Amino acid sequence: MSERLSQERVEQLLREAIDGQVANIDELRRASQQQVHRAGQAVGGDLAVGRMAVLRVLHDWRAGLVTDEQVRWWALLLFVGAFPQEWSPYGWHFHASAQPIHIEYSDDEEVNEVVFRLKDLGDFDDGGTIAADVDIMIRQLSDS
């Protein structure tokens, strides 16, 4: 079993995720839901992801700096407020050991639409269309 993350590190990783820095999402997944919840409280204010954070994720993904899995886990964190314990191409299951963090949906519907699509990355019915549309999603968010 891996070493438990310090609460300070979990807070730093959560801030990074909110800012669209996905490279360390696997490390954040190692934290307990209680730690993630406490980090959400410590970060304070309204946790929200904006257009620039989503664009950062999309650009890093297109450049090969982050994997499909890292992008999906990031989007699921935003969507659910926690990391599902089980994921497969046919669905995911969330067993709350602590309250999920509340991440505000953006006032920008295009941002929400992209995050909603990214959470389904790799699902059985995705068929690669989400990854193929990365340039379209970047243009969609850059042109508005």
Q: What would the pLDDT profile of 77-118 be if each residue is shown by its tens digit?
A: 998 888 877 666 666 556 666 678 888 877 889 999 999 899
User: What is the reported pLDDT for 75?
Assistant: 92
> In which residue are the tokens 């839901």 written?
33
Res. 1: pLDDT tops 60: no
Alpha carbons 78 and 11: distance in angstroms, whole number: 15
- Domain with 114 in it: 7-143
DSSP-based three-state secondary structure for 18 = helix
Q: What is the mean pLDDT of residues 4-11?
A: 94
- Is 135 a domain residue? yes
User: What is the reported pLDDT for 67?
Assistant: 94
Alpha carbons 16 and 26: distance in angstroms, whole number: 12
What percentage of the chain carries pLDDT values higher than 90?
53
Give residue 55's identity as a one-letter amino acid code: L
- Is 117 a domain residue? yes
Question: How do residues 40-54 score in pLDDT, each as one tens digit?
Answer: 999 877 788 889 999
User: What is the reported pLDDT for 39?
Assistant: 93
Res. 65: pLDDT tops 70: yes
- Is 62 a domain residue? yes
Question: Number of folded domains in the chain?
Answer: 1
